[in-house]
Structure 1
Amino acid sequence: MDGSSYYIPAVAMGAAIAFKGPALLRGWRDPLLRSVGVLLALAGLVFLFAAPPTITAVNDITGIPNVSAPLVYCLLSAYSASCLVLIINWRGGPPEVTRRLSRRWILGYTVVGVTLIALFALGDTPVERLRDLDTYYANTPFIREMIVLYLASLSVAGVAMNFMCWRWAIQVRGRLRAGLVIIAFGSLCNIPYSAAKFTAVVARWNGTNLDGLSTNVAPMLASAGAQITAVGFCLPLAWRRVEDSWNAWSTYRRLGPLWRELKPVSVPEDRAARISWWSAAELLVTQRESDIHDGMLSLYPYFDSEVRSLAYGAAVAAGSSATEAHAEADAVMVTVAVRARTADPEGRVISSAEATAAPPATGSPFAHADGPRDLVRVSIALRRSPVVAAARGRATTGSESDAREPAG
């Protein structure tokens, strides 16, 4: 594998961090988001510092032959710990248990990292090896133990990750389960990676040469495993983000009929605070809901509980469920009120309502006796309900008698 085989995954991890950077900064206190950021950063650093050109540069800068070896091994150990910590935080549970388990894994792999550095310092590696240090120094005191320790720690992490992921995957469904299965397969690559390395090292111990397993096969397994694992961690989070955006856009679209119905009585656009159409979907939904609320408030004196009751009865008689009938009744009341407000440009009804000082609970624009209004359901009823269509037709043809002034 040449340098590009390492740098491309490193760039991919860097791009993932850049993409999630704002969310990571905003939610850095969240253990789950913090674990995701650390994992992506460590995965990128592993690929960056494991690339032969980077190994050469680090060795030249420090003046210590093969000093990149313990650096890369420590990064691999930290990456293994970050994967385990992320799974623990992702699964959740009592905070004290989550913190205790996370600290145990972090402490364990910190000890491994310190031991790796100590073993390298005690050993002797005068000849720089960019690709085959594991096999070249397989029989060197202390370096041999360093190699065995880092391979054993990776194997333990791979087995632990698979155990936790599969045990959790059988308890959940959907995108979370898909992500866990992908993570499990990615972690599974640690085991053949370590096996290939161990086989090549043991072959050296026995005087034979299977270096190709260590220099060619193992790096490909490591690259595939790290990238698959990162995809498994990111997929459910990205999926959730896409799903949230889709739901927000769907809500924005479904509120359209109600927003357009109330537009004639809402705050004029030149006096309203507007946001750009390319803003986040959540902001557009908030803006649309605000416009609807403004329109409903302006219609408050024109709301007629009797109109709503008659519409509710008609909707139930037409076969609607109680929930649907409530929405249709609200939609009819809004439709009649809009036309009554349009037919009263001088605001006589508003003046009358102010004079009588009707209590706010009577015909509140946002709630009724059965609970808060579902604006989306009301909006859908405006577009689909035959009861609403009939009421709109009557209000258009005739008469202001359908828009009675509320009792004082």
Structure 2
Amino acid sequence: MSLVVYMASFLLALAAILLRRPRRTPRSPLSIATRATAFIAAVCFFWSAPVTLAAVNHATGIPNVGAPLTYGSISALSCSLIILLIHWKGGPQEQIRRMTRLVVAVYGTLILAIVVLFSLADAHTERLTDLDTYYANTPFMREMITLYLMGHLASTIVLSAVCLKWARDEVTGLLRLGLRLILVGLLLDALGFTVAKVTAVVARWMGYDLDFLSTTVAPPAAALGALVYSAGFVLPRLASAAAAERQSLATYRALRPLWSAVKDVATAPPVAEPTWWQLWWQLPSSRVYLLEANIRDALLQLTAYIDQRVGRTAFEAAVERGEQRAEARVAAEKAMIIDGIRRASGKGDGPADPPEKFRVTIDLVELAHAVDRLREAASAPDQVKARRRQVSDTDVRS
């Protein structure tokens, strides 16, 4: 049984690692809640493995001390699932914070009660797999077991009701698939774990022995259910993250011509530009961040080559074409930067007339497209000349 539980713990920990955000991206409450839930679930399964329980009991010298540790982590998981659902639903930030504080207060009190009840109970016989049923009639242990099962069942009911309501709404795509996975996972958890445990404990209260439900059915059902509903929570987020990374990759490729045009102007070393052998593991969003920082630094160093007369001419021409003033300012800035790149490479005519202050406000991708078109236009005559030389050489040989 420990192998199954450890496998679930490993997969959930892996999900928490894969959901990490790039270091320079803004912190997202939903991202934090998702990773925290996956991490708590991994810890929960790790503590509940019989091998871990035996090690904890032996290390502390307290029989069954792993029980409140496991039950507390299960309650923490129930709490984190509800908090994740609150952030997933969204809404006013103040309402989200208020509901989050309420859930934390309720389950924090539950965890504290579990610890207190265990400290008051008489549980000196170590039980690694059947503690729930073995101590089902023991004072304080009975209440502790009931509390954690009811707390977990309550979270399952709340999550199922909300997800069922959302599934009936007009949701499509991966969000609908995620909701269905959550419902399936919660059903496995509710029937396979909680109901099985409660049935086994109640059977003990009535003098019957249905311990196999608690020891054989519940653990693998809980592991499978946790994996399924965790996938339901994670899948939509992974999909949106993948879409964002695809967009970042397209942006990175679009900016490369601009960086090629301005990198020789930069006098400072690039901002932590990755080497070629590091690029394979860096996320495209991280690459874009570094590339944009390097481009902006290089563009600021172009100030000495910027000619504001070029900007005025481009602005007036854009206004005459009927463009809005904002669009005309963009055209003027683009013209000054492109002219500055030419002057920095030694292709300008006459000295520049730089402005007193120059700030890059233009979209870098738009600027990169303009630079790329200019390069293609400049290289067209050379290509024509090369083709003519090839034709001439062929005629001479013939």
Partner residue of 1:187? Answer: 186
- CA root-mean-square deviation: 4.6
Looking at structure 2, the residues matched to 209 and 112 of structure 1 have their Cα atoms a distance apart, in angstroms, of 28
Partner residue of 2:85? Answer: 87
Partner residue of 1:251? Answer: 251
Query: Does the 8 A contact of 1:77 with 1:112 survive in 2?
Result: yes
Query: Does the 8 A contact of 2:50 with 2:128 survive in 1?
Result: yes
Distance 1:396-1:18 versus aligned 2 partners, 3 A rule: closer
Distance 1:337-1:132 versus aligned 2 partners, 3 A rule: closer
Bigger mean CA offset, 294-303 vs 85-94: 294-303
Looking at structure 1, the residues matched to 329 and 80 of structure 2 have their Cα atoms a distance apart, in angstroms, of 51
Unaligned runs of 5+ in 2: 385-398
Deviation, 1:151, is 1.6
2:278 is the counterpart of 1:276:
no
Deviation, 1:159, is 1.2
Looking at structure 2, the residues matched to 142 and 246 of structure 1 have their Cα atoms a distance apart, in angstroms, of 55
| Amino acid in structure 2 at the alignment position of 1:48 | F
2:107 is the counterpart of 1:128:
no
Distance 1:105-1:342 versus aligned 2 partners, 3 A rule: closer
| Amino acid in structure 2 at the alignment position of 1:272 | A
How many aligned residue pairs are there? 371
Unaligned runs of 5+ in 1: 317-321, 367-371, 398-408
| Amino acid in structure 2 at the alignment position of 1:78 | A
Deviation, 1:109, is 1.8
Q: Deviations over 1:274-327 (max 9, x none)?
A: 2433473111232134435545762435726556776999999xxxxx999998
Q: 2:366 aligns with which of 372, 377, 385?
A: 377
| Amino acid in structure 2 at the alignment position of 1:5 | V
SS class of match (1:349): coil
Looking at structure 1, the residues matched to 91 and 34 of structure 2 have their Cα atoms a distance apart, in angstroms, of 18
Query: Does the 8 A contact of 2:302 with 2:344 survive in 1?
Result: no
Partner residue of 1:406? Answer: none
Q: Deviations over 1:138-187 (max 9, x none)?
A: 34444333333222211100111223345456476666665555444433
2:37 is the counterpart of 1:39:
yes
Partner residue of 2:70? Answer: 72
Q: Deviations over 1:105-139 (max 9, x none)?
A: 22222332233334444544443322122233334
Q: Structure 1-normalised TM-score? A: 0.70
Query: Does the 8 A contact of 1:259 with 1:292 survive in 2?
Result: no
Looking at structure 1, the residues matched to 145 and 359 of structure 2 have their Cα atoms a distance apart, in angstroms, of 71
Deviation, 1:52, is 0.8
Deviation, 1:50, is 0.9
Partner residue of 2:96? Answer: 98
User: What aligned pairs does 1:325-404 form with structure 2 within 5 A after superposition?
Assistant: 348-350=350-352, 353=353, 366=360, 373-381=362-370, 383=372
Distance 1:156-1:312 versus aligned 2 partners, 3 A rule: same
2:298 is the counterpart of 1:291:
yes
Deviation, 1:80, is 0.8
Distance 1:290-1:167 versus aligned 2 partners, 3 A rule: farther
SS class of match (2:307): helix
SS class of match (1:57): helix
2:147 is the counterpart of 1:149:
yes
Distance 1:171-1:284 versus aligned 2 partners, 3 A rule: farther
Query: Does the 8 A contact of 2:189 with 2:225 survive in 1?
Result: yes
Looking at structure 2, the residues matched to 43 and 191 of structure 1 have their Cα atoms a distance apart, in angstroms, of 16
Q: Deviations over 1:331-385 (max 9, x none)?
A: 788767766776766x6232xx37xxxx779xx785xxxxx54332343355569
Looking at structure 1, the residues matched to 175 and 188 of structure 2 have their Cα atoms a distance apart, in angstroms, of 20
Q: Deviations over 1:17-71 (max 9, x none)?
A: 566678799988x755554454344323211221111222233334443332232
Percentage identity across paired residues of the two chains? 34
Distance 1:108-1:24 versus aligned 2 partners, 3 A rule: farther
Looking at structure 1, the residues matched to 329 and 111 of structure 2 have their Cα atoms a distance apart, in angstroms, of 64
Distance 1:323-1:389 versus aligned 2 partners, 3 A rule: farther
Partner residue of 1:5? Answer: 4
Looking at structure 1, the residues matched to 25 and 336 of structure 2 have their Cα atoms a distance apart, in angstroms, of 43
Query: Does the 8 A contact of 1:132 with 1:214 survive in 2?
Result: yes
| Amino acid in structure 2 at the alignment position of 1:223 | A
